Every structure is written in C-alpha cells, then in structure tokens.
Amino acid sequence: MTNPKGRFGVHGGQYIPETLMNAVIELEKAYDHYKNDPEFNRELQELLNEYAGRPSRLYYAEKMTKDLGGAKIYLKREDLNHTGSHKINNVLGQALLAKKMGKTRLIAETGAGQHGVATATAAALMGMECVVFMGEEDTKRQALNVYRMRLLGASVVPVKSGTATLKDAVSEAMREWTSRIDDTHYCLGSVMGPHPFPTIVRDFQSVISKEIKEQILEKEGRLPDAVIACVGGGSNAIGTFYNFIEDKDVKLIGCEAAGRGIDTFETAATVNTGRLGIFHGMKSYFCQDEYGQIAPVYSISAGLDYPGIGPEHAYLHDIHRAEYVPVNDDEAVNAFEYLSKCEGIIPAIESAHAVAHAMKIAPTMDKDKIIVITISGRGDKDCAAIARYRGEDIHE
Amino acid sequence: MSNIKKAFENGKAFIAFITCGDPDLETTGNAVREAVKNGADLIELGIPFSDPTAEGPVIQGANLRALNGGITTDKIFEFVRDLRKDVSIPLVFMTYANVVYSYGAEKFISTCNEIGIDGIILPDLPFEEKEEFSDVCDKYDVDLISLIAPTSENRIAMIAKEAKGFLYIVSSLGVTGARSEITTDLNSIVNVVRENTDIPCAIGFGISTPAQAEKMASLSDGAIVGSAIVKLLEKHGKDAPKYIGEYVRSMKEAIA
C-alpha cells in the first residue's frame, strides 16, 4: 500500500466516500496535535477523574471465585463510571477534541444506547448540539436509554432502514456526516470505521488496561493470566487488551455474541462466522453472504448486535495474539443472573457475555491463576428485556 | 483507449443510473433499451448492496427491492451478457467495494471485461484506497472511475491527474437524491479538473429536472441522473420503461 496509515496488518484503511476524506484527514491532524498537547491531556484527565469518576475499581469477586472454585476473579468496574459504562472514556476525549477543532455539533450512532447516552452527556456538559441515530428495533429494546438521551437534550433519530439495528444506525450517522461536515463531528463509539477512528477510540479506551495493570500489580504483585471482555465493534475489549498486548503471558479473550448459536443464522459472532470484507470504512471481518451482502445479524444484546469487528481485533486474531470465543444468548442471560445474585452486581447484558465465558474457564484453572473480567456497563437498562426473555412481562 | 469517451462524442452526455433487478431484470433490460433509444449516452448499472451508505432513501429502496427479489452478482453478469447483444453504448457498474472484494477482485473485473462492462464506480473507494482494485482494472481494461466532491478542494488535482474513463463530480454534500437547489461552486471545481486532465467530467447527485440537467451539463461534459429514474421504477414497476424513455428524451433534449 502507498498509504499504510491506519492499517492493522491488512485490516483498517479508509473506505469512505470522497466527500468525507478531508474531514477524516482534518480529524487525524487535530488528533495528532492534541494527543501530545499537555493542556488537552490535563483537561481530559480532569474530566475523567472529576466528572466520570475514574479510576474505576478493580474489585476482587471473592464469592464468585469461591463458588467457581478455580482462578481468582477480579472485575474491572467500568459499570461504575458516570453514565454507567466504559463509553464515557472515549466520548469525553472525542468531545473535547471536537470542541478544540471548533465543532459545535456531535452526531453518534448507538446500539444499546450507552454510547448515545454518553455522547448526549458530553454534549450537555460542553454546550454542544447532539443528534443520536439508533435503530428503530433498538429504540424499543432500550426505551429507557432513549428517554435518558432526550432528557440530556439530544435528539434521537430512529433508523428504519435495513435491520433497524446498530449497523443501520452507523450507516445513517455516516450519511448525516456527509451532508453536514463543517460544524459537525461524528463521535464514533467503537474501534471501527475509517482511520483514524479505530486508533483514536482505542487510545481513549486504553485507560482501562492501564488502570488494570497498575491495580493488579498493587493488589497481587503480578500480571493476570487472562483478561476477558465482550466484543461487538470491540471498544471495551481493545481498552482491556491494549496495555497487555506486549505481555505475552497475559491471555487476551474477546467474547462475541453468538445469539442463538454460531451454527444458526441468528448470530453476531463475526470472527467465528464472518469473513474478510470492506464495510463501514474499514477492511475487517464481517458476517456476510457469498456475494458480500452484509448479514442481518442477531443477538439479545443490542450493543453487540453488529456484523463487523474493529480492524485491530481482526489483526490480533490473525496473529493469534487474542482469542475470540462465541457466547450465546442463554449463557449470557444465565451470567447476567449469576453475577447479580452472587456478587450483587447487575452487569450489562453485553458484559454478561464476558462473565459467561469466565464462568466456563475459571473452574478449569488453578487457584493461583488470576483472571480479570471487564464489566463494561451496568445492567439496569436490560432488566425489562431479560424479564421478557424469562417470560415475565414488566414495563419500564 | 477507453470506450467511455464515446459517450461524450454526441454533444453533452446524458448518463442514466438504473438499479439492476428493480423490480426484476426483464424490466431493467427494457428500461435500459428505452433510455438508449431516447438518447442516453452511458448507463450506470447499479449492483445492489445491502447497506448502501452513499445513497438516499430512493436508491436504498431500489437496492432492497432488488435484493428481496433474489438478485445476485452472477445473475447481473448473465443479464449484461444478454444486454450486450443489442446495446452498444458504454456501460459501467456502480456498486460498493465489498461486492467486488467478496466476489474476488480479479474474477469480478475480468468478468466485466468479458461481458462488455467499460468501467466501475465504487463510492466507498476514495483515492487513497484505489490500489485495492486499480491494478486489476488496468489489467482487464476496465476504467475505475473516480469521484470528486464539494469538499475535495486541495485533492481535486491529485484525483484528476490519475482519473480514468470520466470524472464523476458530486454536486452537493450528502447522499444521492433529488434537490431543489445545487449551491456548490462547480465552475471552480471543473476549472481545476480541466487544468489537470483531458478526460471528460460529468456532474451527478441531486439532478432531476431538465433545467438542472441543462445547467449542470453547461458547466461540464454531462449530467448524471439516478434517483429521479429510480423513482419512476418505484412508481410504475414493470410499466416504468416507457416513462423512463420519455423522461430521458426530455433530459437529453434539454442538455443537447
């Protein structure tokens, strides 16, 4: 390639309409400048600490550890951040960057609504206009978050095209950006899309593994044997992995949403069922048919219900540095209930996918092994949907 | 030498876009023939994609109807093979990078050459990524057509210098679809294009009326119309070809 920028192996790149090229080039220049700017970093650090409540806790799940009878389990509590998930880490960074670039309006896509809520929150804080695109199907699954975004002053646009889920929300946000670039920053919520987004979002989320490393060294005097996170586009997972990539003894495990199972069509497990393709600005793995039509994926989790995966994850898979395992709806719902009862922590249904995998592997590991599960968000938003899954009709 | 230049030898070019398989390939074939009979100089044949991020609601709808009707890339190749028996004007494909990539670039583009497709337009393949397909396109003599947008500014010269076939100038910000007004300073864009290349340029996005077509063609070498034609298919279905013929005639007369 003449332009190796933004490539992770063969993955990544900038497969976007010409209309957006100068916008992403401008964003890259601004980011390259501000990421080394002491004043920018001071402001961001203050927002993360004072407003979002960082650092988040690394909690020893003693009851869960004893109950499973194997490896020692720690939970990285991103659910305790302001707005209830890891999404705020990236949003505060991007909103601050957008503001420095002179932008006055943020647009965003959202699946479960956590990124939308975080973006609406940052927009309110910084006095910016905010428009969030959300699949119509997801506005029903996550009605509470729609209300939260409106309460925060954002407008929420239900997207009816395609499968009316996260991928369609991304497409619609991209369409909106091509029509209004001058005053608008597209605050992308995951480590996906065209360069430089996968790099910017990773950098802002890498605070998760930076803290885990410091905290586990303080508590245990050594690095964990495995870190586990759920993967849709992959932002909390790359945040959890990033500072451990060079520590080859730390296993990196991403948990994909298998929906009703990877042997069915109702799945969103991209690495396990997809193949290499080009979509939403990047080359990576995608669930697609033999002619390259993007598959209508499915997961109980609106936040993992996406047919692709970030390019850096695709690369970590290619070089066998990280492992991507499928976790189906049933396993995730069981883990959702298990963590609630066992530790008194209600995880987001997305994060429950990571908990479910830990429940499988912890009992097979020795008691002197350590695993860290990132609880990417809190599960209040999911209670009504899980109740329905269990046949109980409750209304929010 | 590119076959596409023939489209620009008959005065200002009128370029028509039609989504293959909307509502079925027989109708697409009839629509193409009516458009050719009534003065179209080049046809862009859309290969549907599940998630067409550069399209407005009208062409998104056409993609969906065609895919729901069971259209595939292979069926479209067979259709073009048949179309080429009596249609001789330049034909290009318009689709998305994944449709080509997933089929296998070499297999896709060599088939284009074999069935008589002269060029290919991929709205999600900007200058920086064109090497993904450009070598294979050169090898099989299929023009990989570049787009220039209202935001291209300092990029216009770079894109124009390496352009093949014709240059597709996007008239406005946003996605495809009719607009009441086009406000971009297209004259300045065309001037930079002219300084950097001899290949023709045509303007598309937002053009639906003869008056708009006339204005856009007067600024460049031709006008491209998609959504307005697709709307006729949406409205009239299998009966659309005769309305498309009348429409193309009115547009070609306006720009000639």
Question: Phi and psi of B218, rounded to 5°?
Answer: -70, -25
DSSP secondary structure letters along A260-289 = T-TTSSS---HHHH-EEEEETEEEEEE-B-
Residues of chain A found within 8 Å of residue B96, distances taken between Cβ atoms: 278
Residue B110 lies in a domain: yes
- Shortest distance between the Cα of A291 and any Cα of chain B, in A, equals 6
Residues A317 and A286: their CA atoms lie apart, in Å, by 13
What is the separation of C-alpha B109 from the centre of its chain, rounded to a whole number of angstroms? Answer: 17
Q: Helix-strand-coil percent breakdown of chain B, rounded to 5? A: 50, 15, 35
Which residue of A18, A161, A174, A306 is the best one to mutate when testing the B interface, meaning the one whose CB has the most B CBs within 10 A? A18
Q: Which residues of A132-161 are buried (b: 16+ CB within 10 A; e: fewer)?
A: bbbbbbbbebbbebbebbeebebebbbbeb
Is residue A195 less than 8 Å (CB to CB) from chain B?
no
Residue B3 lies in a domain: no
DSSP A308: B
Residue B73 lies in a domain: yes
C-alpha separations of A18 from A11, A170, A349, B214, B234 in Å? 20, 18, 38, 25, 28
Predicted confidence at residue A141, as pLDDT, reads 78
Is B245 in contact with B34 (CB distance < 8 Å)?
yes
C-alpha separations of A319 from A238, A250, A267 in Å? 15, 15, 24
Residues of chain A found within 8 Å of residue B147, distances taken between Cβ atoms: 17-18
Residues A254 and A240: their CA atoms lie apart, in Å, by 10
Q: Please tell me whether the interface predicted TM-score (ipTM) of this complex is above 0.95.
A: yes
So which residues of A are the catalytic ones? 87, 109, 376
Which residue of A25, A159, A183, A293 is the best one to mutate when testing the B interface, meaning the one whose CB has the most B CBs within 10 A? A293
Residues A130 and A105: their CA atoms lie apart, in Å, by 6
Residue B21 lies in a domain: yes
Smallest Cα–Cα separation from B20: which of B100, B96, B75, B60? B75
Is residue A184 less than 8 Å (CB to CB) from chain B?
no
- Shortest distance between the Cα of A179 and any Cα of chain B, in A, equals 4
Smallest Cα–Cα separation from B144: which of B133, B154, B129? B133
**Strand order in A129-135's β-sheet?**
A155-159, A129-135, A105-110, A184-186
Predicted confidence at residue A1, as pLDDT, reads 37
Q: Which domain holds residue B218?
A: 12-146+204-255
Tens digits of pLDDT across chain A (396 residues)? 334 678 999 999 999 999 999 999 999 999 999 999 999 999 999 999 999 999 999 999 999 999 999 999 999 999 999 999 999 999 999 999 999 999 999 999 998 899 999 999 999 999 999 999 999 988 987 888 999 999 999 999 999 988 888 999 999 999 999 999 999 999 999 999 999 999 999 999 999 999 999 999 999 999 999 999 999 999 999 999 999 999 999 999 999 999 999 999 999 999 999 999 999 999 999 999 999 999 999 999 988 999 999 999 999 999 999 999 999 999 999 999 999 999 999 999 999 999 999 999 999 999 999 999 999 999 999 998 899 999 998 865
DSSP B128: G
Residue B186 lies in a domain: no
Predicted confidence at residue A46, as pLDDT, reads 98
Give Cβ neighbours of residue A183 (< 8 Å, ≥ 6 apart): A103, A104, A105
Query: What one-letter code names the amino acid at B147?
Result: L
Residues A222 and A151: their CA atoms lie apart, in Å, by 44
Residue B189 lies in a domain: no
Is A227 in contact with A209 (CB distance < 8 Å)?
yes
Give strand pairing partners of A15: A281
Contact state of B54 with A279 under an 8 Å Cβ cutoff: no
What's the mean pLDDT when you consider all of chain B? Answer: 97
Taken in order A186, A187, A189, A191, the sign of the CA dihedral is: positive
Residues B31 and B26: their CA atoms lie apart, in Å, by 9
Q: If you average pLDDT over residues B223-244, what whole number do you get?
A: 97
What is the separation of C-alpha B108 from the centre of its chain, rounded to a whole number of angstroms? Answer: 18
Predicted confidence at residue B1, as pLDDT, reads 54
Residues of chain B found within 8 Å of residue A293, distances taken between Cβ atoms: 49-50, 67, 99
Number of C-beta neighbours around residue B31 at 10 A: 27
DSSP secondary structure letters along A96-144 = HHHHHTT--EEEEEESSSHHHHHHHHHHHHHT-EEEEEEEHHHHHHTHH
Query: What one-letter code names the amino acid at A328?
Result: N
Residues B13 and A252: their CA atoms lie apart, in Å, by 57
* B61, HSE (Cβ side, Cα atoms, 13 Å): 16
**CATH number of domain containing B128:** 3.20.20.70
Residue B169 lies in a domain: no
Smallest Cα–Cα separation from B232: which of B23, B14, B13, B15? B23
Cα dihedral A242→A246→A251→A253 (10° resolution): 30
What total number of domains does chain B contain? 1
Residue B5 lies in a domain: no
Percent of chain A clearing pLDDT 90 (strictly above) = 93
Nearest to A16 among B49, B56, B126 (CB): B126
Is B62 in contact with B22 (CB distance < 8 Å)?
yes
